[in-house]
Amino acid sequence: MSVSEAISFVINNFQSGAWPTIVDILITVAPIFLAVILFRIMWDLWVQYIRAKNYMAAERIVLELRLPKDTYKSPLAMETFLNALHNTSDGSKYAQFWQGNVRPYFSLELVSIEGAVKFFLWMEKIRKTNLISALYSQFPEIEVSEREDYAKSVHFDPKVTRIWGGEFVFTKKDHEPYPIKTYVDYGLDKDPKEEYKIDPLTPLLEWLGSVPPNQQAWVQIIIRAHKKARKKGHIFKETDVWEDDIKKLINETMIRNEKTKITGAPTKEGEFPRPPTLSEGEKKSLEALERRLTKHPFDVGIRAVYISPKDEFDTPYVLGGIIGSFKHFSSANLNGFKPNGKVWHGRLDYPWQDFRNYRRNLYSKQALMAYKRRSYFYPPFQRKPIVMNSEELATIYHFPGSVAATPSLERVPSKKAQAPANLPM
């Protein structure tokens, strides 16, 4: 039935006195629709409640990682460790919707407390043994110790404290799934000599090491294994949008048929396809895209917090240091990081935009609370994550060699060795 026929049907029924019958039908089916709507609302509330209950019941810990004095391993060792954290299991439906189980997630953290730079890992305590085993398998000389959560000791008082909080997203749009400039692009996968190393993490560590007394800077990288989701418009069919977008971009760049993989297009009817002419930059971009598909993908949320006495807060130093340090992972022909202007640190350039600093103080409280809870994939501070593979993650979080000469970066003072077998007792 077309739209015009439907309108005619309603008008004819109204003129013939049948309109009350239609109203009766609507009244009859209305409770069913209301029940469906209420079930949907209550179901979402139940899932949030049971997940929050499970979160409060599970014990979580913070591990401090003290680096050995001499680290000669490339970030590939960290990438291998991160692969051990790739767990796509959400548990059974019963575990998800009755016990509140969620996919395991972790927080990789770089922290400067008055210039003392530390590496931390935040996780559920039940995963401690497996994580430490995977860590020692790649870094046998590292020291791992459980610490009190450093973030719990910080409280926001707008009269004496100033807090800046921000989150980072990709510079490219979602349908342009280019990777960032990784340690492979910097040649660190080849284990070059220390004097030839260019580590993109070093500027961030140096800036963290320059944090003045009575001030703190925290960088948090929350990760969980990325997995397929329900395809849009389907009930059961699943797809990986991230993977689909990469393959689509590769095919478009190479002018390649998605199914036949034939590259190029014929100039005249009957001629063989001619391969596209690619510049050196396009070739490198394609190589990076194809390499991105071969590594384990993670959902990632990146956030930073800076805490300072109100009278000592230096806006150019804070913003220039944090944002500038992330520029070294960017490339014009690939991807990079930028602050998410939609979250917390919106521009408040004029007095009438923030009466008596109400919005600024609200942003500060939310930023601190989100950091403490490590909330990103689930409420109360749920965000849309970016997707990075293990190679990209190892680039922004790894143990630097002596090329990072930050004096306040804590390291194990000496190497450990086993006692000789013939030592007299």
Residue 4 shares a structural domain with residue 121: no
Q: Which domain covers residue 8, as residue numbers?
A: 1-57
Q: Is residue 218 part of a domain?
A: yes
H or E, element range at 65: strand 60-68
Residue 41 shares a structural domain with residue 163: no
The model's pTM is 0.84
Q: Is residue 243 part of a domain?
A: no
Q: What percent of the chain has pLDDT over 70?
A: 78
Residue 38, both tokens? 């209420």
Q: Is residue 417 part of a domain?
A: no
**Crossing angle of the two packed helices 202-209 and 315-326, in degrees rounded to 10:** 160
Query: Please, is 196 exposed, middle or buried when counting C-beta atoms within 10 Å of its C-beta (0-12, 13-18, 19+)?
Result: exposed
What pLDDT was estimated at residue 295?
A: 94
**105 alpha-carbon distance from chain centroid:** 10
Residue 220 shares a structural domain with residue 312: yes
Residue 241 has pLDDT above 90, yes or no: no
Structural domains of the chain, count: 2
Residue 209 shares a structural domain with residue 312: yes
Residue 386 has pLDDT above 80, yes or no: yes
Q: Is residue 336 part of a domain?
A: yes
Residue 52 shares a structural domain with residue 75: no
Residue 149 shares a structural domain with residue 49: no
What pLDDT was estimated at residue 28?
A: 74
What pLDDT was estimated at residue 413?
A: 65
Residue 188 has pLDDT above 70, yes or no: yes
pLDDT, one tens digit per residue, over 29-83 is 778 888 888 888 898 899 889 988 888 888 999 999 998 777 778 899 999 999 9
What pLDDT was estimated at residue 62?
A: 96
pLDDT, one tens digit per residue, over 18-28 is 555 666 677 77
Q: Is residue 238 part of a domain?
A: no
What end-to-end distance do the CA atoms of the chain give, in Å?
97
pLDDT, one tens digit per residue, over 300-326 is 999 999 999 999 999 889 888 998 999
What pLDDT was estimated at residue 194?
A: 64
Residue 421 has pLDDT above 90, yes or no: no
Residue 183 shares a structural domain with residue 160: yes
Residue 366 shares a structural domain with residue 388: yes
Residue 200 shares a structural domain with residue 115: yes
Stretch 171-183: mean pLDDT, rounded? 90
57 vs 44, 148, 375, 389, CA distance in Å? 20, 18, 16, 31
Task: Return the half-sphere exposure (C-beta side, CA atoms, 13 A cut-off) of residue 262.
Answer: 6
Q: Which of these three, 57, 89, 105, is where a domain ends? A: 57
Closest Cα partner for 183 from 296, 303, 74? 74
Residue 97 shares a structural domain with residue 15: no
- Residue pair 181/334 in contact (Cβ under 8 Å)? The answer is yes
Stretch 381-407: mean pLDDT, rounded? 86
What pLDDT was estimated at residue 416?
A: 56
Query: Please, is 286 exposed, middle or buried when counting C-beta atoms within 10 Å of its C-beta (0-12, 13-18, 19+)?
Result: middle
Q: Which of these three, 10, 31, 57, is where a domain ends? A: 57
CATH number at residue 360: 3.40.462
Strand partners, 124: 60
Residues 6+ apart with CB under 8 A from 342: none
Residue 392 has pLDDT above 70, yes or no: yes
Distance in angstroms (rounded) separating the CA atoms of residues 73 and 202: 15
Residue 31 shares a structural domain with residue 65: no
Residue 91 shares a structural domain with residue 102: yes
- Residue 326 neighbours by CB distance under 10 Å: 21
